[in-house]
Amino acid sequence: MAKLFAQIRFIAGALALAFIVAVVTPVSAQQPSSVNPTASAVKEQQLLKELSKIQGRGTIPDVKSYVLEHPVGRDWRQWHEVTLRWIGGIAVLGMIALLVIFYLWRGMVKIEGGRSGRKIVRFTAFERFVHWMTASCFVILALSGLNITFGKPLLLPLLGPEAFTTWSELAKYAHNFLGFPFTIGVVLVFLIWLTGNIPNKVDMEWFKEGGGMVPHKHPPAGHFNGGQKLIYWIVVLGGGTSAVTGYLLLFPFYGTGISGMQVAEVVHATVGMLFIAAMLSHIYIGTIGMEGAVEAMGEGTVDINWAKQHHNLWLKDEMARIGPNESQRQPMATPAE
Amino acid sequence: MARMKFLCDADRCIECNACVTACKNENEVPWGINRRRVVTLNDGTPGERSISMACMHCTDAPCAAVCPVNCFYTTADAVVLHSKDLCIGCGYCFYACPFGAPQYPKVGNFGSRGKMDKCTFCAGGPEADGSTEEFEKYGSNRLAEGKLPLCAEMCSTKSLLAGDGDVIAQIYKERVSKRGYGSGAWGWQTAYRESIAT
């Protein structure tokens, strides 16, 4: 009996299998003999045409590694190796050339009628501290920044690879750390001199008169003249932009991804180059360009005749405030040391 | 001399990550650094493809071009290598690289990224071939031993090919003509300014 049941089970099973095969075969026969699995597959060039980068999914925790391809780095390379060098070279060398020509033509702007010997306080100790903190940071930031752009073609052949790396690494650390005091300096500059740097009608006149650079003209000016206000806003806006873009680069992937960092570097470098050019003119007029100017940021006082010539409105206000006799003394003559 | 290249046959890659593991083990890559990774596109849809990606050792490499201290060099086999003694960790190669290959041991913190690390095509660095210093800084130098990169050698489906560009392109072409389809050599247009006609 058991044998019979087993045979029936076997026959029933065979019939069921035959039925399934009979039903399924025509279905599979309708499908094409060769399948093309790439028909619906992603295509590299198509993805790159649609978006500037190809991004997918990965299995490692590093999310930024899920970007497969990002060819725009090639454009950034063109910018960094060619365009930026032209911008920087023209801005910095062009400004130096302009200043040399200007100096040869105009020479040092003398104090008319010579020094009076009477001095007046122009900048307080705190103002001078803020100025020099920002300025010294700026000089190091500028040199270390220029090194990243121009060091390879200019310094590397002179120093050799090892010495150039030592210097560049030092310069990089200086650049990264001095960005912080520089930012504090820019913020303080913005705050302490804001009231004196709001543009007004006097500045329009000042610019129309060419800033008094045409000899024997004295356009009126307050505490800060039009040119100084221009420098102030270059420092505040240029410094602010440099700081923001600098921090984006200093803390990768906190603020932006790679594309954002490329843009940040373009802005940072462009602003930096123009900033350096602007500061060269600032340094020129504060030193060899004008007699009696450097002491304003040095000991903090200026000669009355200098003030009369360059900042007549400010001198008038100061005289009215402190009285003419007060200015004859030298308030900063004996600094507390 | 050969012109070394990588080619990932995306129609074969099964995203097993053996290449990633092989690379990390062979080169004793530090924690947090992945010289090679597998990226899956259109995950879960019929068009899904996985591609294993590392440094492609580009022709006229952008990383080398933008490096401010010129720490990169190209070997006779056209492998793009760099010197960790000269690298200042500025991150510029990372901005320029189309494949996200350069890695840094430390991310952020006042720009102290540390020395850049990337795929060496298992060809070590500027130190003497097979020396301890070379291994500690760059990992294995299999090329000097006449072997190819371990990621490709370990690939379970032979999706990842490494070797002379002409040879691996020929292998890929034969595969494509035999099976009748191929989604192309990913990254070749960007890295080598050429693609494989299939």
Question: Does A59 fall in a domain?
Answer: no
* ipTM value for the complex: 0.89
Say whether A162 and B71 touch across the interface (CB within 8 A): no
Question: Which CATH number covers residue A194?
Answer: 1.20.950.20
Question: Does B198 fall in a domain?
Answer: no
Cβ-contact A208, A217 below 8 angstroms? no
Find all residues with CB under 8 Å of A170, minimum gap 6, and list them: none
Looking at the DSSP bridge assignments, the partners of residue A312 are: none
Q: What residue in A sits closest to B90 (Cα-Cα)?
A: A172
Between chain A and chain B, the number of residue pairs with CB atoms below 8 A apart is: 171
Question: Which CATH number covers residue B92?
Answer: 3.30.70.20
Looking at the DSSP bridge assignments, the partners of residue A69 are: A54
* Three-class SS state of A121: strand
User: Taking 90 as the threshold, does the pLDDT of residue B105 lie above it?
Assistant: no
Say whether A44 and B189 touch across the interface (CB within 8 A): yes
Output the pLDDT for position B111. Answer: 55
Higher pLDDT: A24 or B50? It is: B50
Question: Does B63 fall in a domain?
Answer: yes
The DSSP bridge pattern shows strands B49-53 and A67-69 to be: unpaired
Residue owning tokens 């095969």: A21
Say whether A41 and B68 touch across the interface (CB within 8 A): no
Tell me the shortest Cα–Cα distance from A217 to chain B, in angstroms.
Answer: 48
Sign of CA pseudo-dihedral A49, A51, A54, A59: negative
Output the pLDDT for position B194. Answer: 85
Q: What is the mean pLDDT of chain B?
A: 92
Output the pLDDT for position A326. Answer: 52
The count of domains in chain A is: 1
Q: What residue in A sits closest to B101 (Cα-Cα)?
A: A65
Q: Stretch A72-84: mean pLDDT, rounded?
A: 92
What range defines the domain where residue A312 resides? 130-328
Question: Does B28 fall in a domain?
Answer: yes
Interface of A with B in 189-218 (CB under 8 A): none
Tell me the shortest Cα–Cα distance from B171 to chain A, in angstroms.
Answer: 19
Question: Does B144 fall in a domain?
Answer: yes
* Three-class SS state of A114: coil
Query: Cβ of A33 under 8 Å from any chain B Cβ?
Result: no
Confidence of residue A22 (pLDDT cuts 50, 70, 90): low
Tell me the shortest Cα–Cα distance from B54 to chain A, in angstroms.
Answer: 9
Output the pLDDT for position A37. Answer: 67
Question: Does A8 fall in a domain?
Answer: no
Question: Does B197 fall in a domain?
Answer: no
Say whether A71 and B46 touch across the interface (CB within 8 A): no
Q: What is the mean pLDDT of chain A?
A: 87
| Least confident range of A90-94, A178-182, B1-5 | B1-5
pLDDT in tens, A263-307: 999 999 999 999 999 999 999 999 999 999 999 999 999 999 999
Confidence of residue A29 (pLDDT cuts 50, 70, 90): very low
Interface of A with B in 272-311 (CB under 8 A): none
User: Taking 80 as the threshold, does the pLDDT of residue B78 lie above it?
Assistant: yes
Query: Cβ of A54 under 8 Å from any chain B Cβ?
Result: yes
pLDDT in tens, A175-194: 999 999 999 999 999 999 99
Output the pLDDT for position B144. Answer: 95
User: Taking 90 as the threshold, does the pLDDT of residue A208 lie above it?
Assistant: no
What range defines the domain where residue B146 resides? 4-192
The count of domains in chain B is: 1
Give the end-to-end CA distance of chain B in Å, rounded to a whole number: 26
pLDDT in tens, A210-227: 887 766 677 889 999 999
